[in-house]
Each structure stands twice: as C-alpha cells, then as structure tokens.
Amino acid sequence: MTSSLSLTRRSALGTLAALGAASAFAQGASTVRIGYQKSSTLIVVLKTQGTLERQLAPLGVKPSWHEFTSGLPLLEALNLDNLDFSADVADTVPVFAQAAGAQLTFVAQEAPSPSAQAILVREDSPIKTLADLKGKKVGFAKAAGAHYLLIAALDKAGLSLKDIGQAYLTPADGRAAFEKGAIDAWVVWDPFLAAAQRQAKVRVLADGTGIASYQRYYLASTKFATARADVLDVIYAELAKAGLWVKANPKDAAALLAPVWGIDAATVEQANSRRSYSVRPAVREGLAEQQKIADAFVAEKLLPRKIDALASPLFKPEAAA
C-alpha cells in the first residue's frame, strides 16, 4: 500500500531538492537543518532575531532554515533525512509521518490553542450550522490540524467526510478558492484565520473549542535527537523563552512578525492572542489525543495502518530535568 506521506511527494519535490542538505547527520556536524512554516511563530521569532545563531555558536553549530507551506511536507522532509528538526506542526501531522514509518522524537509541545483554527463560511452564506455542511465543498490542508477539526466537527453533527465535497488546499490556495466561491467553507489556522477575518467578510461556523484542542509539537529525527541532545537543549530553552516573550509583549511581537509574514501588525496580534505559546516537554500522557486523532484518520481510511502514538520517543530537555 502506498504510504500517506507519498501522496504529497510530488508537491514536495521542489522544496526537498532546494534543501541541498547532506543525507545524514553525524555527531559533530556543523549545521542543524530546521524546517518551519509561516505559523511556526516562535521559530520565526528566533530566526528573525538571530537567537539560535548566537546560542548555538559555542557548540560549533549553526542553523540552516527551510520554509514549508504546511506541516505534512515538512515532516516528510524530516522522514527523508532532509531536515534534523521540525518547528511546531499541528497535532494531526505526526500521526501521518509515523504511519509512514518515520523515526521521530517529540521534543516539545505547546499547550492547547483550540480557537486558533476554525471553519469559516462567507458572511452571507446560507450555512448556519455544522449540519448544513452536508453536500457542500470544503477546503482544507491535508493532515493539518484543520483536517482533524473538520472530521471532529462533522462527527459532532452526525456527519462524516463522505457527506461533503473535499478539496485539499494549501492556505494560500484555500484563501483564493474561498474568496472566488469555488469552495463553500474553508478550514484554516492562524495567522491565515486572523487575516481572513480582518480582510474579508467571513463568519466562524465553529472553532476547535470543545472539539479539537489543537496542540502543536516540535520534533526531531530520532537519529539527530540521539546524536545531539545538546543542540536540542539549546533550541528548547530558546523556544520556551520566546513563548514567554511573545505573550508578555504582544505589540512588540506583532511589530517584529508583521513584515516577516507580510501581514499588518493588528492581524498578527489577533492571531497571537489565540495561541498559548506555552512551550513544555512532551509527556507520555499528553499524547493521548494523538491516539484519538490517529484512530479517527484510520476510521476514515486516510492512514494506511494503525499506530501506537503513546509509544513515540520523547526528548527530555535538560532544563526540565
């Protein structure tokens, strides 16, 4: 059976080829290859401020940066050994990678942020309830947190994915399709969610509150985690500091991120207000919802096999010891 990750291989080829990184990471290597996406706020803060360049220098290591449009191709790159570390991805994404056999170690997680993703409809849409999605076309990114939010929301309304028309779309393509009426509803996360709310006439049909907790995870290849725990200790510590800074200084954080994201500062501040940015070690009991998510995707025949999410390797940061 073709793995779920292989379904995105064609779309990821250009990104993977552009990485041009060595195929293996050895003890003492001078570069840590970091993958991230626009919603990887804390990594973007560290990248913009040059923090990791400074903090990793004493270890003889420097970061190289690789941006992805969404989490699934990001973790595919990690699985293919084209990255060493993945900035935060939604809780749904690792289960797809694990089902494809990826050797991943959970480095950290952010506390839940359920309102940071939502199902949007146009302001004048006749869709008023989740049940009204039956027979409608809905756009979302495959394997993103938005995908699971949609599954869980439909289930709450007594529906399933079979009851709707599905369109796998990146956030940029989803916004375009939504605005021209090619899809009836769009499931997306911040900062794309905040941008749509402030720039278009939209209505939130449902967010993740009471449906999907939306935790975000930071991961490394297990090989890298074994070889360079010292590097991961530095990254973890700086992510935790960045999370505290963003929440304590919302306007300064928005001013920093706005030109990087190409979004006005007010929109960035709105998006950041819905994310916890509380970075903590990944713990075994915290992966319970991962198992629930994996089982939901298996039931929808979107994963090739069952996985044991609770058996995932966990990294214990020195700062949390």
Q: What is the pLDDT of residues 201-241, one digit of tens each?
A: 999 999 999 999 999 999 999 999 999 999 999 999 999 99
Strand partners of residue 314: 106
Query: If we measure between CA atoms, which residue out of 279, 321, 297, 306 comes closest to residue 93?
Result: 297
* pLDDT the model gives residue 124: 95
Structure tokens at 305: 């096999």
* pLDDT the model gives residue 12: 41
Distance between start and end Cα atoms, the chain:
41
The region, left, alpha or beta by phi > 0 then psi within -120 to 50, assigned to residue 190 is beta
Q: Is the pLDDT of residue 7 over 80?
A: no
**φ, ψ for residue 134 (rounded to 5)?**
-60, 125
Q: Is the pLDDT of residue 182 over 70?
A: yes
C-alpha separations of 298 from 5, 142, 264, 306 in Å = 14, 14, 39, 6
Q: Which sign, positive or negative, has the C-alpha torsion 129, 131, 137, 138?
A: positive
* pLDDT the model gives residue 169: 96
Residue 27 burial class via C-beta count within 10 angstroms: exposed 0-12, middle 13-18, buried 19 and up = exposed
Q: Is the pLDDT of residue 266 over 60?
A: yes
Residue type, 22: A
Q: Is the pLDDT of residue 112 over 50?
A: yes
Query: If we measure between CA atoms, which residue out of 293, 296, 305 comes closest to residue 1?
Result: 305
Q: What is the pTM of this model?
A: 0.84
* pLDDT the model gives residue 319: 64
Q: Report, in angstroms and rounded to the nearest whole number, the Rg of the chain calculated over CA atoms.
A: 19
Structure tokens at 30: 């001078």
Q: Is the pLDDT of residue 1 over 50?
A: no
* pLDDT the model gives residue 29: 63
pLDDT, tens digit, 9 for 90 and up, residues 237-265? 999 999 999 999 999 999 999 999 999 99
Domains of the chain with CATH codes: 5-113+215-320 (3.40.190.10), 118-207 (3.40.190.10)
Instruction: Give the mean pLDDT of the chain.
Output: 89
